[in-house]
């Protein structure tokens, strides 16, 4: 009888622990992570997460301490995700950057496509640091750095498959 009681108590406590969340965290909320707490990639390969140390990022002048702020936006074409849009912030350079990553599932069937990315400033009501690529099959795209760290901003991006009349757009979350 005593063992059954102990087993029941353990099961009840386990269920209670699962049902009570310890807290919630949101991408880009709260203080910036310390450099030692960030997963700093030593690779120079591009990635879906955005790698400021990639050859493409370095060629674009992205500061290698940049990290994602806010939540990711998704470019959809016919209801299917085809690309991700992220905003990055560099504490060292005091700049924001837009980043677009085109998904493999789209690249495998699309042929060439056009891509844009930049940083939308809510106070200036315009896209800054915009860059555009035409007839490309690349996967990762960085905007120019923008001096907008004191403003509310979002990364914006678009992808247009060859033959489509208009591009598909998305934005990351607003960050202030």
pLDDT value at position 46? Answer: 74
Go through the chain and tell me how many residues it has. Answer: 176
Does 15 have pLDDT greater than 60?
no
The DSSP string of 12-32 is: HHHHHHHHS------TT-SSP
| Structure confidence by residue, pLDDT tens digits, 57-106 | 888 899 999 999 999 999 999 999 999 999 999 999 999 999 999 999 99
The residue ranking higher by pLDDT, 2 or 157, is: 157
Q: For residue 33, what pLDDT is reported?
A: 52
Give pLDDT, residue 171. Answer: 98
State how far the Cα of 48 lies from the Cα of 24, in Å rounded to an integer. Answer: 24
Q: Which residue has the higher pLDDT, 22 or 119?
A: 119
Q: Rounded to whole angstroms, how far apart are CA atoms 24 and 73? A: 20
Distance between CA 91 and CA 38 in Å, rounded? Answer: 13
86: Cβ–Cβ under 8 A, 6 or more apart, which residues? 50, 68, 70, 72, 73, 98, 99, 100, 101, 155, 172
Residue extents of the structural domains in the chain: 60-176
Q: What is the predicted pLDDT for the residue at 17?
A: 33
Interatomic CA distance for residues 83 and 103, integer angstroms: 5
Query: Which DSSP state fits 117?
Result: E
> Which tens digit of pLDDT belongs to each residue from 36-55?
444 444 677 777 888 887 88
Instruction: Tell me the CA end-to-end span of the chain in Å, nearest whole number.
Output: 60
Residues 22-26: what's their mean pLDDT? Answer: 31
Q: Is the dihedral of CA 117, 28, 145, 174 positive or negative?
A: positive
CATH of domain 60-176: 2.60.40
Q: What is the mean pLDDT of residues 17-29?
A: 33
Calpha distance 176→164 (Å, rounded) = 34
């Amino acid at each position: 009888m005593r063992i059954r009681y102990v087993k029941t108590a353990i099961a009840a406590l386990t269920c209670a622990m699962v049902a009570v969340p310890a807290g919630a965290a949101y991408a880009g909320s709260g203080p910036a992570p310390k450099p030692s707490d960030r997963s700093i990639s030593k690779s120079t390969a591009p990635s879906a997460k955005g790698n400021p140390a990639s050859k493409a990022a370095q060629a674009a002048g992205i500061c290698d301490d940049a990290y994602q702020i806010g939540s990711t936006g998704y470019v959809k074409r016919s209801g299917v995700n085809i690309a991700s849009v992220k905003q990055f912030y560099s504490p060292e350079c005091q700049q924001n950057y837009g980043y677009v990553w085109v998904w493999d599932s789209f690249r495998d069937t699309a042929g060439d496509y056009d891509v844009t990315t930049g940083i939308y400033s809510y106070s200036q009501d315009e896209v800054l640091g915009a860059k555009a690529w035409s007839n490309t099959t690349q996967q990762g795209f960085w905007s120019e750095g923008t001096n907008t760290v004191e403003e509310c901003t979002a990364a914006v991006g678009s992808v247009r498959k060859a033959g489509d009349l208009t591009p598909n757009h998305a934005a990351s979350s607003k960050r202030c």
